[in-house]
């Protein structure tokens, strides 16, 4: 949620920076310079340390111990001797074992029972949210709009959606809010698809704003839920794919403007159908509120199985339906 607010802030400040620069080359150079400064975080591990949770999940307790000790010293340097002794004992126990690091590939997710399904659904949801925004913006501005109108409208609604998630996400839970957002987005899209020519202008504008707000909230919540239900060992890679699916959906927006916006109807039909399908898929997702973050692939499966999933079928049953052949012969001899 915090990154979403910073993204909105950057979006709102960019036109002012462009006005001051007065040249796109200078603006591009400033953007490249600011982006290049981020490389300092990778060059100095003290500024941007590795995640201790990921280090522990991949079998690197010694590195996790060093980072946690550094964070403890930087966070509260005035600890009492008793607290320092207790912390040192816990960190020594943490770094006692030194197993070989076990790195995991994102392809290992396909060998899980249901965790792969959660990642696929969240990626699909993010794809829909990124692509359907063009339909709602088109309904808001049926004629050729000015550049700043959809730009600031999208940024403002993203800020409102983030604030609503901060208020409702912890109170109602992630999954119900995601279901509600998908339902609102799907209904608004279908109503605009079927009755744009027959509805009053204020109704079209209201449905477009409501659908755009729901798509912004659904996009942010899909990323949040992906970060909470996917296992730590591959969370970064899988979350990157979920975010990338959202950008892929946004890349389909120019298709609606081909040949004088004749492709808009097909674009709207496809993503409205996807929104209805996503509503059914989200019913299969688990609720992550109140549960610890899964560290391993098995933990992610257990989180899903706690909410109505089906366990994997074991290769051998403990109670076979038919007895073994020698037991069957012995039973026939007795009878």
Q: What is the pLDDT of residues 234-259, one digit of tens each?
A: 888 888 999 999 999 888 877 766 65
Q: Spell out, as residue ranges, where the chain has pLDDT lower than 50.
A: 311, 313-332, 334
| H helix runs in the chain, sequence order | 2-21, 24-37, 39-43, 52-57, 61-75, 81-94, 115-140, 148-172, 174-195, 201-229, 235-251, 258-261, 264-282, 297-305, 325-334
198's tokens: 């027959």
Rounded to whole angstroms, the Cα distance separating 159 from 216 reads 9
Rounded to whole angstroms, the Cα distance separating 76 from 87 reads 12
pTM for this entry:
0.78
Rounded to whole angstroms, the Cα distance separating 121 from 230 reads 12
Residue 316: per-residue pLDDT: 39
Cα separation of the two ends of the chain: 71
Residue 151: per-residue pLDDT: 79
Domain extents in the chain: 21-94, 106-282
Hey, how many other C-beta atoms are within 10 angstroms of the C-beta on 255?
14
* pLDDT per residue as tens digits for the range 72-87: 776 665 555 666 566 6
Residue 260: per-residue pLDDT: 56
HSE toward the beta carbon, residue 228, CA cutoff 13 A: 18
User: Exposed e or buried b for every residue in 49-71, given b needs 16+ CB within 10 A?
Assistant: beebebbbbbebbebbbbbbbee
In CATH, what number does 106-282 get? 1.20.1250.20
Can you say whether the dihedral through the CA atoms of 58, 62, 63, 69 is positive or negative?
A: positive
Do the beta carbons of residue 189 and residue 201 sit within 8 Å?
no
Residue 88: per-residue pLDDT: 61
Rounded to whole angstroms, the Cα distance separating 113 from 300 reads 9
Do the beta carbons of residue 218 and residue 181 sit within 8 Å?
yes
180's tokens: 């509600």
Residue 128: per-residue pLDDT: 92
Rounded to whole angstroms, the Cα distance separating 49 from 39 reads 13
């Amino acid at each position: 949620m915090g990154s979403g607010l910073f993204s909105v802030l950057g979006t709102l400040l960019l036109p002012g920076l462009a006005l001051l620069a007065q040249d796109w080359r200078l603006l591009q150079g400033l953007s490249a310079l600011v982006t290049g400064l981020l490389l300092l975080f990778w060059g100095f591990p003290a500024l941007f340390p590795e995640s201790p949770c990921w280090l522990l999940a991949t079998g690197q307790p010694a590195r996790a111990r060093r980072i946690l000790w550094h964070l403890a010293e930087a966070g509260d340097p005035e600890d009492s001797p008793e607290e320092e002794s207790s912390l040192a004992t816990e960190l020594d126990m943490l770094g006692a074992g030194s197993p070989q690091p076990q790195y995991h590939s994102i392809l290992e997710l396909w060998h899980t029972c249901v965790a792969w399904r959660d990642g696929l659904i969240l990626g699909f949801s993010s794809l829909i949210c990124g692509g359907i925004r063009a339909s709602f913006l088109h309904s808001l501005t049926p004629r050729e709009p000015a550049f700043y109108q959809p730009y600031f409208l999208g940024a403002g609604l993203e800020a409102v959606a983030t604030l609503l998630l901060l208020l409702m996400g912890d109170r109602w839970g992630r999954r119900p809010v995601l279901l509600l957002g998908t339902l609102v987005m799907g209904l608004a899209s279908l109503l605009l698809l079927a009755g744009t020519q027959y509805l009053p202008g204020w109704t079209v504008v209201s449905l477009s704003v409501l659908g755009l707000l729901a798509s912004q909230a659904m996009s942010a919540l899909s990323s949040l839920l992906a970060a909470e239900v996917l296992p730590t060992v591959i969370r970064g890679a899988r979350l990157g794919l979920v975010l990338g699916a959202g950008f892929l959906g946004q890349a389909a927006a120019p298709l609606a403007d081909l040949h004088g916006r004749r492709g808009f109807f097909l674009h709207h039909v496809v993503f409205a159908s996807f929104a209805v399908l996503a509503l059914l898929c989200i019913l299969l997702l688990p609720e992550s509120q109140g549960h610890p973050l899964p560290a391993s692939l098995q933990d992610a499966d257990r989180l899903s199985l706690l909410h109505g999933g089906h366990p994997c079928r074991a290769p051998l049953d403990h109670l076979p339906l038919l007895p073994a052949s020698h037991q069957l012969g012995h039973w026939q001899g007795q009878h």
